[in-house]
Amino acid sequence: MASKQLHVAMYPWFAVGHLTAFIHLANKLAERSIRVSFFIPARTRSKVEHFNRHPDRIAFVPIPVPHVEGLPPGAETTSDVPFPLHSLIVTAMDETMPFCQASLERMKPDIVFFDFTHWLPALAREMGIKAVHFCCISSVTIGYLLSPARNEPEESDLYDPPPGFPASCIKLKKHEARGLFFVNMMEYGKGIRFMDRQIKAFMDSDAISFKALKEIEGPYLDYVAEVFKRPVFPAGPIVPEQPVAALDTRWASWLSKFKPKTVIYCAFGSECVLKLDQFQELVLGFELTGLPFLVALKPPAGADSAESALPDGFQNRVKDRGVVHGGWVQQQLILEHPAIGCFVTHCGSGSQSEALMNECQLVLFPQAGDQIINARMMGLDLRVGVEVEKDDEDGSFSKEGVCKAVKDVMEEGSDVGKEVRANHAKWREFLRSEGLDKKYIDGLVQSLQSMKA
């Protein structure tokens, strides 16, 4: 493949999930002799540098992030601040435009990959650089929430899909539509709403690429191409390379005490912070199952640590079979451990891929944003997992509901469990099929080469 001369730049949104998704794609391109210049906030570089498997072809370009009034000193990414301050992070990102422009003029890449910087395509076009919107959010979510066919949606419009949306079981509950409508309409950067920023980024790009497979998201990819009038390049599963490190001894030793496929593992990503009552109801639900469990969640709102927020007497009752940990864990390695039987996931993009690739059964517990649409697709369209039941109006859930969802997927005699286990096994086999990742990345590179020509 004649890709040796191709040079791409990448400028992902300042959020850990986006940065890691872009670096995983950069690794795939670098394997094909493509040179990558990767823009990254200066102080955040050390947090993702270990993902760079090809430092001879992937060069980090540290960005000095301007301080914006209202942000804590040194804040660079969304993980550094609570959600209400995310708009100030994107304001800081917008203020890097002069640095970005000067860097692109000096580097002269053929193509720049971006997502939240809606101003980047116009800037790149002035220099003869093509702009590809690499979207870490699923095509299902983009089509459902941001389709231009919605025009100026009201909150109630989000209950149902937009005009022309592919046939699907996906719908939103009242509390979900309320939350997503609020995000769409909120100011996200100076003088621009979240929805308008996203739509402009898609509309002004030269092409759109998703971490997606036609076999799973085909109709939704076609819908996005139709409504945004841009070519869409599916990049495939973009499976990260196996971690070099072994599983931490603490977790390897603890998990080894249990029989294969019996342990519940629960994690909701790097940003989710539950309310105290939700946090306690969740862990009480795991206690009710009678199964061993490992919970890796950030401390709930107002708590100093995850451990200090546990219900009275909880630790004594579950000390031999349950652990609640408030720090980071090696999720990919934990999911591959033979003791893990159930993954309770928030259905974020990265976790969604890891969930489908592994043998553990899936309980879907979306918290916000694209996670909700991802969960509906996995639970209702693909039928590979069971979603925890929540109240339509306020999104509340019970420990009994958590327990039921786990038992539905774990108990051998469950009809629901049989169905989701069979469907999950089918998709897992497909996703692990030899050459699948290579086929998609090779196809993406061919599309990039044709853009350069």
**Phi, psi at 234, each rounded to 5°:** -70, 130
Helix/strand/coil for 78: helix
Contacts of 371 (CB under 8 A, 6+ apart): 346, 347, 348
Nearest-5° Cα angle at 220, 218 to 223? 115
Q: Nearest to residue 105, comparing CAs of 72, 122, 129, 86?
A: 129
Q: Nearest to residue 209, comparing CAs of 22, 422, 407?
A: 22
CA-CA distance, 387 to 166, in Å (whole number)?
Answer: 22
Question: CA torsion sign, 315 to 316 to 319 to 322?
Answer: negative
Kindly give the interhelix angle for 415-431 and 399-410, rounded to the nearest 10 degrees. Answer: 70
Which residues are known to be catalytic?
18, 115
CA-CA distance, 340 to 201, in Å (whole number)?
Answer: 40
CA-CA distance, 66 to 64, in Å (whole number)?
Answer: 6
CA-CA distance, 421 to 342, in Å (whole number)?
Answer: 11
Q: Nearest to residue 84, comparing CAs of 187, 181, 174?
A: 187
CB–CB of 123/131 below 8 Å?
A: no
The secondary structure element, H or E, covering residue 10 is: strand 7-11
Q: Residue 97: what residue type? A: M
The count of other CB atoms within 10 Å of the CB of residue 131 is 23
Helix/strand/coil for 367: coil
Q: What is the DSSP letter of 72?
A: P
Q: What is the DSSP letter of 84?
A: G
Q: Structure tokens of 79?
A: 């993980």
Structure-derived torsion over alpha carbons of residues 72, 75, 79, 83, reported in degrees to the nearest 10: 50
Q: Nearest to residue 352, comparing CAs of 114, 136, 146?
A: 136
